[in-house]
């Protein structure tokens, strides 16, 4: 399609938004784009429909079919309402929870969604203000609802907003519901199909009454309150980066017994523009810079930052030289599960039916810890909905004790079904207190885990290939890796290949065994004789292909850490050369 043809197509599509079904503000914005001689904004806003995918909606805010606005959000809610009314038609009253984060328009989108649900005869529990995603997940189960949504774009830049849909177990929707909801949303042809006029009698505002129950439940995650009592004055710095964490995390830390928690004042301000950071992503060092500066000033021992919807947490602590360092998602996941297993053993809580979960791209050291402690460790696909699925399958039969992923998410409890920065912040603070009780810093605890279980270094590489040609290039890369897999990586022979698209595992001798997974996924994994693991996965939402690299080493003492860290960087470069990235 040439540019003139594309302009004609988007112009025709945009003109349909100049009808009375759309409000005056939207019509004015569309007219402005149509009148602008530069058609690039018009094309970006209308060249496709913002798709309701398996993770819901996520996009830049603005007028147009490819933007987050009251009409794209409205279509998603109308489609979900139609599906709920079909699925639960025998129920006297279907109910949902509606939550939102701090982003611009999040409250507006939440209120409009509440109106649409209620207009379709569905009872709505609408939070009175922004709340963390994990609390919304908890509320679904607590209130006996059939679904829930939260308006959030997680840690994306300020221009974005998003819409996540959850099912009655408190987890994000999975098959068969995900595809069925997508079908229903696809049937909404225009704004005229959306019931915007709400039934206020069916909308109930909730807040503190749910906060209290949720926080009381989060308190039950604590395993060593005595250690906290002995170190209640430990200096902790926390920042919500302008987001929902400010509503509950300082309060939760106080309930756990921490009395010396300091927040970053400039970032305790609710603001969807995130004015103090480049990006509100706790995976980035820059997002923690103000918190670390405050920690240096007051000689604190721990820094924590939650993302805007408070499901992820970034952590920093002092290393053996007293320098502040970031602890990555693999390392925090490792420490959480190490601590939980250690405490379960000390408390005599191991009954033999416990299990933990990690995603396939998360460090393999977790499996070593689980195996040594005779705990079942399950691997699942990337995304917390898959961890939630493992919990649901075993509910009432086995005891979930924790699960996490490399992208800074952890869940220590089963009363929430998504990653939870509220409990994670409290738990890592308890781990720091427990380490102090044992004469260690948090960083020294990490080093001691490496000494006991082996050193591991993880590195993620994003290869970006924009445009249509880029998408074809990524597809070809996966085909090449599949059809002509590497025989060695970084100088070590490949011993096992896992292909999650064919669900087959191939050993070096050619032996093929099936992989037991709930669905196929376009992911390849290579394991080498020296313990290196490489996972290759095209992004489902962005024009890039991701390489997750994990290299190993033997660590005999804490003193080996710097040497192994330096050696791992050299090894990672060798791995990159082997893969041609």
Domain holding 489, by residue range, is: 457-579
Residue % of the chain over a pLDDT of 70 = 99
| Residue 383: closest CA among 411, 364, 353 | 411
CATH number at residue 184: 3.40.120.10
Contact 288, 305 (CB under 8 A): yes
CA angle, residues 110, 189, 29, in degrees to nearest 5: 60
376, 311: one domain: yes
Residue-wise pLDDT tens digits, 457-486: 999 999 988 777 788 889 999 999 999 999
218, 198: one domain: no
Concerning whether 154 is annotated as a catalytic residue, the answer is yes
Mean pLDDT of 570-580: 94
226, 79: one domain: no
> Among 206, 232, 263, which residue terminates a domain?
206
Mean pLDDT of 357-374: 96
For tokens 């995304």, the residue is 383
Q: What is the pLDDT of residue 389?
A: 97
Q: What is the pLDDT of residue 467?
A: 73
Q: What is the pLDDT of residue 567?
A: 96
80, 187: one domain: yes
| Cα separation, 496 vs 333, whole angstroms | 25
Peptide bond into 540 cis (omega under 30): no
Indicate the number of domains in the chain: 4
Using the predicted structure, report yes or no on whether residue 274 has a pLDDT greater than 70: yes
> Among 430, 453, 476, which residue terminates a domain?
453
* pLDDT band, residue 2 (cuts 50/70/90): low
228, 324: one domain: yes
| Cα separation, 384 vs 312, whole angstroms | 11
Mean pLDDT of 496-516: 97
Q: What is the pLDDT of residue 52?
A: 85
User: Could you tell me which residue, 541 or 550, shows the higher pLDDT?
Assistant: 550
* Active-site residue, selected from the candidate residues 147, 154, 423, 535: 154
Lowest mean pLDDT segment, chosen from 240-244, 277-281, 464-468: 464-468
| pTM of the complete model | 0.95
CA angle, residues 505, 55, 167, in degrees to nearest 5: 100
60, 94: one domain: yes
Write the DSSP assignment of 180-242 as a string of letters.
Answer: HHHHHHHT--SGGGS--S--GGGEEEE-HHHHHHHHHHHHTT-S-HHHHHHTTT--EEEE-TT
38, 63: one domain: no
336, 374: one domain: yes
Which residues lie below 8 Å from residue 208, measured CB to CB, with a gap of 6+? none
| Cα separation, 549 vs 529, whole angstroms | 15
268, 370: one domain: yes
16, 117: one domain: no
Using the predicted structure, report yes or no on whether residue 335 has a pLDDT greater than 70: yes
Q: What is the pLDDT of residue 3?
A: 83
* pLDDT band, residue 226 (cuts 50/70/90): very high
> Among 172, 206, 240, which residue terminates a domain?
206
306, 279: one domain: yes
491, 428: one domain: no
Q: Is 556 helix (H, G, I), strand (E, B) or coil?
A: coil
CATH number at residue 518: 3.30.310
Sign of CA dihedral 165, 168, 171, 176: negative
Using the predicted structure, report yes or no on whether residue 4 has a pLDDT greater than 90: no
| Residue 394: closest CA among 406, 403, 404 | 403
Q: Which helix (H) or strand (E) holds 321?
A: none
Mean pLDDT of 89-101: 97
Q: What is the pLDDT of residue 544?
A: 87
Using the predicted structure, report yes or no on whether residue 497 has a pLDDT greater than 90: yes
């Amino acid at each position: 399609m040439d540019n003139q043809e594309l302009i004609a197509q988007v112009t025709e599509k945009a003109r349909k938004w100049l009808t009375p079904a759309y409000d005056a503000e939207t019509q004015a914005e569309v007219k402005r784009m149509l009148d602008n001689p530069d058609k690039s904004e018009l094309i970006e806003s209308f060249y496709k429909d913002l798709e309701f995918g398996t993770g819901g909606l996520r996009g830049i805010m603005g007028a147009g079919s490819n933007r987050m606005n009251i009409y794209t959000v409205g279509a998603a809610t109308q489609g979900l309402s139609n599906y709920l009314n079909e699925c639960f038609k025998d129920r006297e009253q279907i109910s949902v929870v509606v939550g939102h984060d701090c982003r611009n328009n999040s409250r507006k989108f939440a209120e409009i969604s509440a109106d649409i649900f209620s207009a379709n005869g569905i009872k709505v529990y609408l939070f009175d203000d922004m709340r963390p995603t994990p609390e919304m997940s908890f509320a679904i189960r607590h209130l006996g609802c059939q679904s829930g949504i939260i308006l959030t774009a997680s840690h994306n830049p300020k221009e974005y907003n998003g819409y996540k849909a959850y099912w009655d177990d408190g987890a994000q929707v999975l098959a068969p519901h995900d595809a069925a909801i997508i079908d229903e949303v696809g049937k909404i042809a225009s704004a005229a199909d959306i019931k915007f006029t709400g039934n206020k009698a069916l909308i109930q505002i909730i807040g503190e009454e749910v906060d209290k129950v949720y926080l009381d439940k989060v308190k039950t995650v604590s395993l060593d309150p005595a250690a906290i009592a002995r170190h209640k004055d430990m200096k902790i710095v926390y920042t919500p980066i302008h987001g929902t964490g400010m509503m509950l995390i300082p309060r939760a830390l106080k309930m756990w017994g921490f009395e010396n928690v300091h927040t970053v004042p400039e970032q305790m301000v609710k603001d969807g523009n995130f004015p103090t950071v480049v990006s509100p992503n706790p995976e980035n060092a820059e997002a923690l810079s103000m918190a670390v500066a405050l920690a240096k000033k007051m000689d604190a021992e721990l820094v924590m930052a939650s993302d805007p919807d408070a499901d992820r947490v970034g952590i920093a602590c002092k290393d053996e030289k007293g320098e502040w360092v970031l602890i990555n998602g693999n390392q925090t996941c490792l420490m959480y599960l190490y601590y939980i297993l250690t405490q379960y053993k000390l408390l005599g809580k191991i009954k033999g039916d416990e299990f933990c979960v990690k995603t396939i791209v998360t460090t393999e050291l977790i499996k070593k810890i689980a195996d040594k402690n005779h705990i079942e460790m399950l691997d699942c696909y990337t995304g917390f909905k898959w961890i939630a699925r493992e919990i649901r399958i075993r509910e009432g039969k086995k005891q979930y004790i924790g699960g996490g992923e490399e992208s800074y998410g952890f869940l220590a409890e089963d009363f929430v079904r998504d990653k939870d920065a509220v409990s994670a912040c409290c738990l890592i603070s308890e781990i720091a207190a427990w380490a102090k009780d044992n004469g260690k810093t948090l960083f020294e605890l990490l080093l001691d885990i490496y000494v006991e279980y082996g050193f591991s270094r993880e590195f993620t590489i994003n290869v970006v290939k924009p445009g249509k040609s880029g998408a074809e290039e990524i597809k070809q890369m996966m085909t090449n890796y599949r059809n002509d897999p590497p025989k060695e990586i970084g100088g070590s022979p490949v011993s096992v290949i896992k292909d999650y698209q064919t669900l087959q595992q191939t050993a070096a001798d050619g032996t093929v065994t099936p992989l037991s997974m709930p669905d196929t996924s376009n992911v390849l994994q290579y394991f080498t004789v020296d313990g290196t693991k490489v996972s290759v996965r095209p992004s489902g939402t962005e024009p890039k292909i991701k390489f997750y690299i994990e290299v190993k080493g033997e660590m005999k003492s804490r003193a080996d850490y710097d040497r192994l860290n330096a050696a791992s960087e050299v090894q990672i470069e060798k791995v990159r050369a082997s893969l041609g990235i």
